[in-house]
Structure 1
Amino acid sequence: MFKKILAIDTSMDGCSVSLLKNNFIVNKFKLCKKKHTETILPMIAKILNTCCIKINELNAIACSKGPGNFTGIRLAICIAQAMALQKKIPLIGVSTFASMAEQAWRKYATKKVLIAFDAKKNGIYWAKYIRNNNGTWMGENTEICLKMEHVNTKINKLSGSWTTVGNGWEKINFKNTKKINLISTKIIFSHAKDIITFVNLLLKKNNILIFKNIVPIY
């Protein structure tokens, strides 16, 4: 059993660290924009000290692998890999968008999530996540960087009600041709606490991948 899991996320404008210890999760989150490097390591040290846990006592280390900010993604992966390799701890990489779908479930109990993030240069990072009846999120294969003019086409191929997540919706000039119901939220940041719950769900289903090296998604 993975009773002690450390999760790290620096893929967006915030730094977040979460620690699972015997079914209790401790969380730390801080908006830092371009100060991830000087912020995340003290946060990790503080949460480990608060919970009286040494790195070698962890059962697993998980981190966000993107999509997101180039530097932030690489930072979280490098820290997680270094800790895992040094102490021979299982390493788990989680899609940023998958953890944000889990955040939408945590806050709104929604099972159908559309994620759109500003990719600059008239582009949108896009994904469609659906939570099935056994609690598993499906959708990592839908993650793609789209040109703005292709977003409406993607949306209008769908039907029913969908919850929207991300800062890209401010850029999308959506023309509803099929009367799809989009439910907006204020979720624009990922959080390590949702990596913990996402990983726990996979562990319960015996559907977890352990990595030696995590390939980032930009």
Structure 2
Amino acid sequence: MSTKILALDTATENCSVALLVDEKVYVRSEVAPRDHTKKVLPMVDEVLKEAGLTLTDLDALAFGRGPGSFTGVRIGIGIAQGLAFGADLPMIGISTLEAMAQGVYRQHGESQVACAIDARMSEVYWGRFSRQEDGTWAQTDAECVTPPQTAADNSQADESTWFTAGTGWDAYSEQLEGIKFATEKSKVLFPDAEDIVQLAKFELAKGNTVDAEDASPVYLRDTVAWKKLPGRE
């Protein structure tokens, strides 16, 4: 049976779209932190035209559900929902952290990945993932938002080398120096739809889809404490 999944992600500075048609993947990706709304739909049109398909030919629409930039995650899910509604497609939300782990496997062939996205406010979106024999990923450290120093302090030593992924490693290099396991730097800084679509294939096979109206983001940071201006307490 043919599998056709469209994936898009705008959760970080990277804007990306990928279309999986059986084993062939059509991709578009560009680091464009302020132009997601301008670039993502043309990218969708391009990959569909390249494959000779329309939205109604697809089996599902996958999206980066976060964590990431609040605005970026909202843009991605909003556009994905609009496309899914129009074509009556089920949706699949994929962790941006897990997508980066998949990216490390795609680029380096490594199966143990420590992910840290710069979450601003002196925190990182953190998670560690181990690739399983069936191609899925298990969480060694559950996804969370945490100060990088806390991630280092709470890390557990083991004999493995973990490849790093994400902008958090460079943004908080000093705080993460105390990590208790060996690390090696990868090329992966951002999630990419090319990896999201591969993870979505497993979820679709399991029937793990939602209706468009039920698709939801994962911010990890549920509340943001803003300092009040003087006189406005």
TM-score surpassing 0.5?
yes
Aligned-partner Cα distance in 1 for 2:115–2:179: 20
Note if contact 1:17-1:28 (Cα within 8 Å) is conserved in structure 2: yes
The aligned counterpart of 1:3 is: 3
The aligned counterpart of 1:216 is: 217
The aligned counterpart of 1:190 is: 191
Q: Which amino acid aligns with 1:72?
A: G
Note if contact 1:98-1:140 (Cα within 8 Å) is conserved in structure 2: no
Aligned-partner Cα distance in 2 for 1:202–1:14: 23
The aligned counterpart of 1:70 is: 70
Q: Could you tell me how far 1:193 is from its partner in structure 2?
A: 0.7
Displaced runs of 4 or more, over 6 A: none
Note if contact 1:60-1:91 (Cα within 8 Å) is conserved in structure 2: yes
Aligned-partner Cα distance in 2 for 1:114–1:177: 11
Q: Which amino acid aligns with 2:199?
A: F
Distance 1:177 1:87, change over 3 A: closer
Aligned-partner Cα distance in 2 for 1:130–1:63: 22
Q: Which amino acid aligns with 1:158?
A: A
Q: Could you tell me how far 1:87 is from its partner in structure 2?
A: 1.9
The aligned counterpart of 1:158 is: 157
Q: Which amino acid aligns with 1:31?
A: V
Note if contact 2:203-2:209 (Cα within 8 Å) is conserved in structure 1: no
The aligned counterpart of 1:112 is: 112
Aligned-partner Cα distance in 2 for 1:189–1:107: 13
Residues 10-89 of structure 1: pairs in structure 2 closer than 5 A = 10-89=10-89
- Structure 1 unaligned spans of 5+: none
Q: Which amino acid aligns with 1:74?
A: R
Q: Which amino acid aligns with 1:197?
A: Q
Note if contact 1:136-1:202 (Cα within 8 Å) is conserved in structure 2: no
How many residues align? The count is: 214
| TM score, norm. by length of structure 1 | 0.91
Aligned-partner Cα distance in 2 for 1:124–1:63: 21
- Structure 2 unaligned spans of 5+: 220-233
1:102 aligned onto 2:83: no
1:145 aligned onto 2:177: no
- 1:27-70 Cα shifts (integer Å, max 9, x gaps): 11112111111111111112212222111111111110001111
